[in-house]
């Protein structure tokens, strides 16, 4: 059992949970994630380790409530517990030794980019973060990232920082200061847009992929993604890959596999509701 | 039932037929297919055994269970002693009695098979095991005094569970690290409820815990702990992490929505209870027509699961013929009874999708059998131009699994064979002193009983190795 020791609302739908996981707190490295299962008949879902406190034996999870499992997790109050946390999983972030790194975070991806920026900063790199959200209240982790370097904020409605997408800010930055490496974490369309922007400039771009996972140990293959000509399992070969080689269309498409189920789960959480569901191709 | 039948009388007894759920009903539920012998039938079946002087069945059994002995004790009315004898040879008889391919192991050797049907050894094993599970208090357990030695077992499949049980009885302090949130390995995530009820595995795990085995789930060795750390913290290590890496077909369209590996499909349904969605949170695509590619036990389990989930048609696509199918005969027979369709001599070459990238069919080529290959089975060869399209909306790929490199890739000193399996000596020891391995990670995808046999042998070898090793040092 992993007790929640702290809970903080970061934006209207993003919540920070600090939970006990002593071993993981000690050894996790930037870029790694855990598989979390609340208990009972709950799903196993992957969440990035946004931060860790080895002295206290806790890790920080930053969770965007998008469906049943994440909503149940963010409803946890301090003192309540998560039954299963396995990890740290995945490869740590590939880091360069010197130069200028640009970390681009969209939405909850900003929380995922944070440990990466932290790692780079501790290595002595110059770090610039570009983060975005719908409007001011959706921007998260700004202060934490400011402690590590420059931060450029973009909002869709212009209510805070620059009006526009993170890619607009990135484009300008690349043409002025330039970058040795770009890390992009966020919704698939954002990561694809970043990769499209950096590809002709030949700026190495690392993206953190979020396919549907089950075990997180390479056993099911459900998390497979196409990178270059190869099929890779994101949980063990990733989750970070060369953004210039990733087939984002396929990823986006596969993420929609369970859309109908997710809508139903959202509608009838505990019901004995037993509507038969078939693969959409058959209907 | 008296035990004084003459051989002639024994020979007159017919093999008892396992009571089963009706095929039409069971094709739509997840309850166990075989219902088990009632006492009367078990005793008649036991009387069929001739108590051979030179019993061939024992040699057929990969762990040499003293088969006629436990059967004899049954006929003497001493079921507790029968259980004691069986458990002495095989620590998970309730599992093997249900999933062993008896027809190619003990029963094929049974002398009664020369004329008529062999003794139903698997059914009797299951009967005795089920009795034992419900009468633990009547069974004596012996446990050696504590040795003060700590052994860690990686993986809680049949190999790890067997080794742990054996080691704890030898007096060692045993911890199992399991990557998933529930112990049991393939027995809980792969083999479905209708063949092996989860409760049986749970009870076996509880018994081990009662004997003192500590089980820690959610520990992924190679990630949560490095193997080297385990070597420093424990006196010996047994690696039994299975061969869980799914093999895909490597054909176009395999990443369309609706294509599963058998591991994913079965894990969603068994471990995560997706058949209860939305009461369980994990979903699985049901499919109207589900095509399962492969011919082994895994394929049979997947296709019968598809049927139970509600598929109108569930079919097997296999590139050889029924005779070459590696699945247990009983599973093939049960599948046929449940209305599973078989396409033999058929191999997929492409998964076809609709405009929304959902699976709509499998493009296949017809095969013919050619010369025998390395496995001794006839090699299937495509018939040029003989293509066909199998309509389906879900495809499950069950063409095998390989060693998962997650753990082994983190310890370069551990010697592997070219397939990625761990290399061990006759004692089950790896290239690293004090590190033993067994089960599928050594053999490649094999069987429950072989995995258990490895666990038992390794436990004894670990015991001997520890006895020869001075106390209070840690291996490095
Ligand atoms: C390596 C990795 C790291 C992640 N880190 C974070 C994080 O730090 N914070 C965060 O809020 N989210 C993170 N995610 C995404 C998070 O796992 C999903 O949002 C969550 O599983 C959704 O579950 P749900 O039941 O709440 O929503 P659902 O209603 O079930 O699904 C909503 C959407 O989430 C995705 N999803 C559903 N099930 C899974 C699953 N088992 N695995 C992955 N994605 C799924 C699908 O795209 C789906 O359309 C990460 C994903 C991956 C793969
Ligand atoms: C669907 C299916 C049906 C089958 N049917 C039959 C049958 O009818 N009869 C038969 O004899 N055999 C059958 N088999 C084969 C049989 O199940 C296997 O040979 C057997 O389970 C192997 O046992 P094992 O202990 O070596 O590994 P497994 O049972 O695979 O267990 C390995 C365990 O180790 C865990 N693990 C993996 N990596 C790590 C890690 N890094 N750290 C910690 N833990 C880890 C896994 O999660 C798993 O729990 C079937 C297999 C499948 C998949
Ligand atoms: S070979 Fe058959 S008849 Fe002979 S001892 Fe074994 S089970 Fe009994
Ligand atoms: S989540 Fe199962 S293999 Fe990656």
B259 close to B268: Cβ distance less than 8 angstroms = no
Report the pLDDT value the prediction gives residue B136, as an integer from 0 to 100: 84
What is the average per-residue pLDDT within B270-296? 89
CB contact under 8 A, B273 and A86: no
Cα(A12)–Cα(B439) distance, integer angstroms: 50
Sign of CA dihedral B24, A273, B194, B442: positive
Report the pLDDT value the prediction gives residue A270, as an integer from 0 to 100: 47
CB count in 10 Å sphere of residue A197 = 20
Predicted confidence (pLDDT) per residue in A55-84, tens digit = 999 999 999 999 889 999 999 999 999 999
Q: Which of B111, B138, B165 is the last residue of a domain?
A: B138
- B368-400 per-residue burial string, b: 16 or more CB within 10 A, e: under 16: ebeeeeeeeebebebeeeeeeebbbbbbbbbbb
* Average pLDDT for chain B: 93
Q: Is the pLDDT of residue B473 over 60?
A: no
Cα(B299)–Cα(B316) distance, integer angstroms: 7
B394 close to A279: Cβ distance less than 8 angstroms = yes
Report the pLDDT value the prediction gives residue A275, as an integer from 0 to 100: 39
B168 close to B174: Cβ distance less than 8 angstroms = yes
Cα-to-centroid distance, B333 and ligand 4 (Å): 32
Pocket test for ligand 1, best of A15, A66, A93 (most atoms within 8 A of CB): A66
Residue B144 included in any domain: no
Residue B327 included in any domain: yes
Same domain, B409 and B380: no
Q: Which of B117, B138, B159 is the last residue of a domain?
A: B138
Angle between helices B198-210 and B121-134 (to 10 degrees): 50
Same domain, B316 and B189: no
H helical segments located in B424-471:
440-443, 448-467
Predicted confidence (pLDDT) per residue in B69-113, tens digit = 999 999 999 999 999 999 988 889 999 999 999 989 999 999 999
Cα(B165)–Cα(B143) distance, integer angstroms: 10
Please work out whether the CB of residue B247 comes within 6 Å of at least one atom of ligand 3.
no
CB contact under 8 A, A89 and B223: yes
Same domain, B95 and B224: no
Report the pLDDT value the prediction gives residue B165, as an integer from 0 to 100: 92
Predicted confidence (pLDDT) per residue in B158-195, tens digit = 999 999 999 999 999 999 999 999 999 999 999 999 99
CB contact under 8 A, A220 and B248: no
Question: If you count DSSP H runs as helices and E runs as strands, how many of each does chain B have, helices first?
Answer: 19, 15
Q: Which of B99, B114, B138 is the last residue of a domain?
A: B138
> Taking a contact as any Cβ pair under 8 Å apart, which residues of chain B between 273 and 292 contact chain A?
273, 276-283, 285-289
Residue B2 included in any domain: no
Same domain, B427 and B321: no
Cα(A132)–Cα(A151) distance, integer angstroms: 10
Which H or E run contains B316? strand B313-317
Report the pLDDT value the prediction gives residue B115, as an integer from 0 to 100: 87
CB contact under 8 A, A231 and B272: no
What is the average per-residue pLDDT within B266-273? 92
Output the CA angle A247-A248-A251, nearest 5 degrees.
Answer: 95
Report the pLDDT value the prediction gives residue B472, as an integer from 0 to 100: 59
- Mapped onto helix, strand or coil, the DSSP state of residue B427 is coil
Distance from CA of A29 to the nearest CA of B (A): 11
Same domain, B257 and B371: yes
- B309-336 per-residue burial string, b: 16 or more CB within 10 A, e: under 16: bbbebbbbbbbbbeebbbbbebbbebbe
Residue of A nearest to B262 (CA): A220
Residue nearest to atom 28 of ligand 1 (CA): A67
Residue nearest to atom 2 of ligand 4 (CA): A220
Give pTM, 2 decimals: 0.92
Residue B385 included in any domain: yes
Measuring CA to CA, which residue among B29, B113, B152, B131 is closest to residue B74?
B131
Distance from CA of B129 to the nearest CA of A (A): 29
Cα(A63)–Cα(A16) distance, integer angstroms: 6
Beta-bridged to residue B359, according to DSSP, are B353
* Cis ω for the linkage preceding A223 (within 30 of 0): no
Q: Predicted confidence band at A267 (pLDDT cuts at 50, 70, 90)?
A: low
Question: What's the DSSP call for residue B218?
Answer: S
Residue B474 included in any domain: no
Number of domains in chain B: 3
Q: Tell me, what's the ipTM? A: 0.89
- Mapped onto helix, strand or coil, the DSSP state of residue B228 is helix
Residue B215 included in any domain: yes
Cα(B112)–Cα(B474) distance, integer angstroms: 53
Report the pLDDT value the prediction gives residue A268, as an integer from 0 to 100: 53
Cα-to-centroid distance, B223 and ligand 4 (Å): 15
CA dihedral A99, A100, A105, A109 (to 10 degrees): 10
Q: Which two tokens stand for residue A42?
A: 């709950």
Distance from CA of A122 to the nearest CA of B (A): 23
> DSSP for chain A?
-EEEEEEEEEETTEEEEEEE-HHHHHH--TT-EEEEE-STTPPPEEEE--EEETTTTEEEEEEE--SHHHHHHHT--TT-EESEEEEEESPPPP--SSSEEEEEEETTHHHHHHHHHHHHHHTT-EEEEEEEESSGGG--SHHHHHTTSEEEEEETTSSSSEES-HHHHHHHHHHHT--SEEEEESSHHHHHHHHHHHTTTT-EEEEE-----SSSSSSS-TTEEEETTEEEEHHHH-SEEETTTB-HHHHHHHHTTTHHHHHHHHH-SS---------GGG-
What is the average per-residue pLDDT within B335-354? 96
Same domain, B236 and B271: no
Best of A279, A280, A283 to disrupt the B interface (most B CBs within 10 Å) is: A279
> Taking a contact as any Cβ pair under 8 Å apart, which residues of chain A between 197 and 236 contact chain B?
214-215, 217-222, 224, 226, 231, 236
Same domain, B204 and B236: yes
Same domain, B272 and B380: yes
Q: Which residues contact A230 (CB under 8 A, 6 or more apart)?
A: none
- Of A7-11, A39-43, B145-149, B313-317, the poorest mean pLDDT is in A39-43
Best of A221, A226, A274 to disrupt the B interface (most B CBs within 10 Å) is: A221
Same domain, B76 and B177: no
Cα(B25)–Cα(B6) distance, integer angstroms: 41
Report the pLDDT value the prediction gives residue B23, as an integer from 0 to 100: 92
Sign of CA dihedral A41, A47, A49, A50: negative
Measuring CA to CA, which residue among B195, B201, B200, B197 is closest to residue B182?
B201
Which structural domain, as residue segments, surrounds residue B122? 7-138
Residue B34 maps to which CATH number? 1.10.1060.10
Report the pLDDT value the prediction gives residue A282, as an integer from 0 to 100: 40
B285 close to B259: Cβ distance less than 8 angstroms = no
Report the pLDDT value the prediction gives residue B1, as an integer from 0 to 100: 45
Q: How far is CA B294 from CA A14, A167, B302, B390, in A?
A: 44, 47, 10, 15
Percent of chain B with pLDDT over 90: 81
Residue B255 included in any domain: yes
Report the pLDDT value the prediction gives residue B357, as an integer from 0 to 100: 94
A57 close to A89: Cβ distance less than 8 angstroms = no
CA B22 distance to own-chain centroid? 25
A139 close to A161: Cβ distance less than 8 angstroms = yes
B107 close to B121: Cβ distance less than 8 angstroms = yes
Q: How far is CA B135 from CA B84, B86, B99, B130, in A?
A: 11, 14, 22, 9
Same domain, B123 and B212: no
Q: Predicted confidence band at B3 (pLDDT cuts at 50, 70, 90)?
A: low
Q: Predicted confidence band at A276 (pLDDT cuts at 50, 70, 90)?
A: very low
Distance from CA of B1 to the nearest CA of A (A): 47
Percentage helix, strand, coil for chain B under 3-state DSSP, each rounded to 5:
40, 20, 45
Predicted confidence (pLDDT) per residue in A205-250, tens digit = 999 999 999 999 999 999 999 999 899 999 999 899 999 999 999 9
What is the average per-residue pLDDT within B289-305? 96
Same domain, B394 and B434: no
Report the pLDDT value the prediction gives residue B7, as an integer from 0 to 100: 84
Q: Is the pLDDT of residue A273 over 60?
A: no
Instruction: Please check whether residue B179 touches A, CB under 8 A.
Output: yes
CB count in 10 Å sphere of residue A120 = 25
Same domain, B239 and B255: no
Least CB–CB distance from B264: residue in A24, A221, A236 = A221
Report the pLDDT value the prediction gives residue B6, as an integer from 0 to 100: 86
Predicted confidence (pLDDT) per residue in B213-243, tens digit = 999 999 999 999 999 999 999 999 999 999 9
CB count in 10 Å sphere of residue B199 = 12
Instruction: Please check whether residue A37 touches B, CB under 8 A.
Output: yes
Output the CA angle A209-A215-A217, nearest 5 degrees.
Answer: 75
CB contact under 8 A, A261 and B277: yes
Residue B427 included in any domain: yes
Pocket test for ligand 2, best of B62, B98, B99, B185 (most atoms within 8 A of CB): B185
CA B121 distance to own-chain centroid? 18
Report the pLDDT value the prediction gives residue B378, as an integer from 0 to 100: 84
- Mapped onto helix, strand or coil, the DSSP state of residue B126 is helix
Residue B411 maps to which CATH number? 3.50.50.60
CB count in 10 Å sphere of residue B35 = 11
Please work out whether the CB of residue A245 comes within 6 Å of at least one atom of ligand 4.
no
């Amino acid at each position: 059992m992993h007790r929640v020791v702290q809970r903080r609302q970061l934006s209207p739908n993003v919540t920070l949970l600090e939970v006990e996981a002593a071993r993981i707190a000690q050894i996790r490295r930037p870029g790694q994630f855990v598989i979390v299962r609340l208990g009972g008949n709950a799903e196993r879902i992957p969440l990035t380790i946004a931060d860790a406190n080895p002295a206290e034996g806790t890790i920080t999870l930053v969770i965007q409530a998008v469906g049943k499992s994440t909503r149940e997790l963010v409803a946890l109050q301090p003192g309540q517990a998560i039954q299963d946390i396995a990890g740290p999983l995945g490869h740590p972030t590939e880091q360069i030794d010197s130069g200028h790194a640009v970390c681009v975070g969209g939405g909850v991806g900003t929380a995922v980019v944070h440990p990466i920026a932290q790692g780079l900063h501790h290595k002595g790199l110059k770090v610039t973060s570009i983060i975005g959200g719908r409007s001011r209240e959706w921007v998260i982790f700004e202060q934490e990232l400011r402690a590590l370097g420059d931060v450029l904020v973009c909002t869709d409605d212009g209510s805070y920082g620059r009006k526009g997408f993170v890619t607009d800010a990135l484009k300008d930055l690349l043409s002025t200061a330039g970058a040795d490496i770009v890390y992009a974490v966020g919704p698939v369309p954002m990561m694809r847009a970043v990769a499209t922007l950096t590809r002709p400039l030949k700026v190495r771009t690392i993206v953190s992929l979020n396919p549907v996972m089950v075990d997180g140990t390479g056993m099911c293959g459900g998390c497979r993604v196409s990178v270059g000509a190869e099929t890779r399992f994101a949980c063990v070969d990733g989750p970070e890959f060369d953004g210039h080689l990733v087939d984002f269309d396929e990823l986006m498409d596969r993420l929609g596999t369970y859309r109908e189920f997710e809508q139903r789960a959202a509608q009838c959480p505990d019901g004995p509701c037993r509507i038969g569901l078939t693969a959409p191709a058959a209907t | 039932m008296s035990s004084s039948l003459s051989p002639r009388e024994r020979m007159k007894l017919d093999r008892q037929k396992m009571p089963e759920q009706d095929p039409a009903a069971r094709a739509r539920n997840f309850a166990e297919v075989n219902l088990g012998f009632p006492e009367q039938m078990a005793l008649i079946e036991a009387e069929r055994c001739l108590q051979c002087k030179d019993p061939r069945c024992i040699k057929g059994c990969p762990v040499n269970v003293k088969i006629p002995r436990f059967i004899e004790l049954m006929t003497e009315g001493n079921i507790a002693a029968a259980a004691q004898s069986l458990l002495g040879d095989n620590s998970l008889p309730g599992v093997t009695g249900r999933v062993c391919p008896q027809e190619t192991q003990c029963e094929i050797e049974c002398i009664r098979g020369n004329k008529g049907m062999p003794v139903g050894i698997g059914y009797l094993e299951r009967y005795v095991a089920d009795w034992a599970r419900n009468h633990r208090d009547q069974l004596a357990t012996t446990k050696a005094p504590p040795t003060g030695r700590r052994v860690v077992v990686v993986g809680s499949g049949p190999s790890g569970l067997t080794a742990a049980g054996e080691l704890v009885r030898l007096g060692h302090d045993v911890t199992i690290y399991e990557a998933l949130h529930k112990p049991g390995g393939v027995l809980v995530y792969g083999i479905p409820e209708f063949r092996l009820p989860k409760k049986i595995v749970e009870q076996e795990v509880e018994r081990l815990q009662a004997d003192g085995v500590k089980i820690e789930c959610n520990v992924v060795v190679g990630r949560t702990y490095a193997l080297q750390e385990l070597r420093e913290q424990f006196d010996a290590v047994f690696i039994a992490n299975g061969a869980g890496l799914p093999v895909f077909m490597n054909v176009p369209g395999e990443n369309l929505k609706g294509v599963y590996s058998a591991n994913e499909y079965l894990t969603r349904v068994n471990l995560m209870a997706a058949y209860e969605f939305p009461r369980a949170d994990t979903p699985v695509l049901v499919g109207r027509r589900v095509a399962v590619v492969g011919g082994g036990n895994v394929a049979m389990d997947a296709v019968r699961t598809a049927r139970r989930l509600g598929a109108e048609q569930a079919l097997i696509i296999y590139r050889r013929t029924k005779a070459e199918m590696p699945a247990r005969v009983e599973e093939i027979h049960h599948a046929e009874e449940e209305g599973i369709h078989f396409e033999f001599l058929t191999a997929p070459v492409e998964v076809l999708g609709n405009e929304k990238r959902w699976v709509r069919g499998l493009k296949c080529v017809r095969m013919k059998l050619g010369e025998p290959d390395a496995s001794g089975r006839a090699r299937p060869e495509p018939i040029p131009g003989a293509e066909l399209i199998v309509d389906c909306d879900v495809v499950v790929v069950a063409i095998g699994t390989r060693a998962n490199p997650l753990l082994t890739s983190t310890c370069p000193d551990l010697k592997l064979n070219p397939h990625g399996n761990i290399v061990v000596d006759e004692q089950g020891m790896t290239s690293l002193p004090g590190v033993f391995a067994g089960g599928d990670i050594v053999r490649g995808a094999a069987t429950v009983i072989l995995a258990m046999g490895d666990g038992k042998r390794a436990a004894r070898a670990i015991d001997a190795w520890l006895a020869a090793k001075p106390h209070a040092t840690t291996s490095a």
